[in-house]
Amino acid sequence: MSTANNPGPLVAPTDSLSPRELDRYARHLSLPGIGVEGQSRLRAASALVIGAGGLGAPVLNYLAAAGIGSITIIDDDVVEASNLQRQVLHRDADIGRAKVDSARDALLRLDPELEVDTIGERLSPDNALELFDSHDVVVDGADNFATRYLSNDAAELTGTALIWGTIFRFSGQVSTFVPAHGPMLRDLFPDIPEADSVPNCAEGGVLGVLCGTVGSAMATEAVKLICGIGTPLIGRLLRYDALESDYSTLRFSPDPDREPITDLAEVAVACAATRPGPDELGADGLAQEDEVSVEEYRVGSSPVLLIDVRAEWERQISSIPGSIHLPLSVLQVEGWSAVETVAAHPPFEVVLHCKSGARSAQAVRLLKDGAPESVRLRSLVGGIDAWSASGSETVQASGQTAMPGAHHP
């Protein structure tokens, strides 16, 4: 069993295991390198898991099953029906609940003696250092670049071990960062990418079972670090291609020219860009003048061309009456000319919508380059989700009304 590039056990073992624990973790107790001592380390360990979604779900499940003594879950999102294809911690009955609450209940069903703390907010520069400093290991299942770099910088400042993973469509990556024991994320990827440089899951899609593969690898890394066994992915990036059933490893070293992290100032700017203030930008990064609420749209009297930028399969679930379908993928290729082909006459105002507002905001920014100055472009805040939540009617693929409410004039 290799111990090369292993920083050693992260956690001192508990004094003893109870008869219940000896029975529950019997298959670990017979494993070389874990045994009673390793299981005692797991039981004494505390883990912070960032995100209770696609990666967080398998990470949380397997860390709880492995016998981690204390887990803190941080996530500000709620469970949606579209999550259930991959976020196996949650159930249909949890739709609409806070993910941290649903996750806590699931973990306590698995192990009633597990200590679970929940934080229903995002990891931020205000809470990151305290949270990292108070846990033995952090597992980052975040879905945005700003949080991933915040995790890296907080780990470097506090000396906390960090396991990092990402997924996109059919591929995933995993690496382990232990300050003073190998390179960090910024040695591999020095600069924080633009927030919209890679499509999110709603835009690009993700293979549901991929989350289990990558999340399980992340949980494995946490167990290895805590017990001090094997060779963690320190200085190595594990890459998995589900379509090709191919694993590969990229080795990387510390960058001798990289400036050490001394504070969270740079990453705080990136985090602020993903959560703009109410007096500056809207929730999707647009100026407020480029957004329109459902209420404002419904009472408007001027003729408006309403464009649905979602995929065809999403529109088959439900659509807003009177909307015209023009997928974002088409707009990205054809630009404003695509709008001209579907408009009966030159529009004065165009409102674009998607599921929650992110893709329509992207479409507004894209179309501004080619649209005439006389045309007003706006994104429907909250998309069709907000439309349905307001009581406004939608049309199902069958043509039947799905919800009662008022029409836009």
Hey, which residues are catalytic here?
201, 354
Q: Both tokens of residue 84?
A: 């259930």
Provide Rg for the chain, Cα atoms: 24
Q: For the CA atoms of 55, 59, 60, 64, what is the dihedral angle to 10 degrees?
A: 170
Helix, strand, or coil here: 281?
Answer: strand
Q: At what angle do helices 56-66 and 99-110 cross, to 10 degrees?
A: 30
Q: Both tokens of residue 236?
A: 């190595």
Cβ(360)–Cβ(375) below 8 Å:
no
Amino acid at residue number 66: A
Instruction: Give the whole-angstrom CA distance, residue 260 versus residue 133.
Output: 18
Q: What angle do CA 297, 300, 303 make, to 5 degrees?
A: 100
Instruction: Give the whole-angstrom CA distance, residue 341 versus residue 333.
Output: 14
Residue 97: other Cβ atoms inside 10 A:
15
Instruction: Give the whole-angstrom CA distance, residue 164 versus residue 139.
Output: 6
Pick left, alpha or beta for residue 327 (phi over 0 → left; psi -120 to 50 → alpha; otherwise beta): beta
Cβ(40)–Cβ(16) below 8 Å:
yes
Cβ neighbours for 373, distance < 8 A, ≥ 6 positions apart: none
Helix, strand, or coil here: 202?
Answer: helix
Cβ(292)–Cβ(351) below 8 Å:
yes
- What separation, in Å, do the N-terminal and C-terminal C-alpha atoms of the chain show? 71
Cβ(174)–Cβ(249) below 8 Å:
no
Instruction: Give the whole-angstrom CA distance, residue 194 versus residue 273.
Output: 10
Cβ neighbours for 338, distance < 8 A, ≥ 6 positions apart: 326, 330, 331
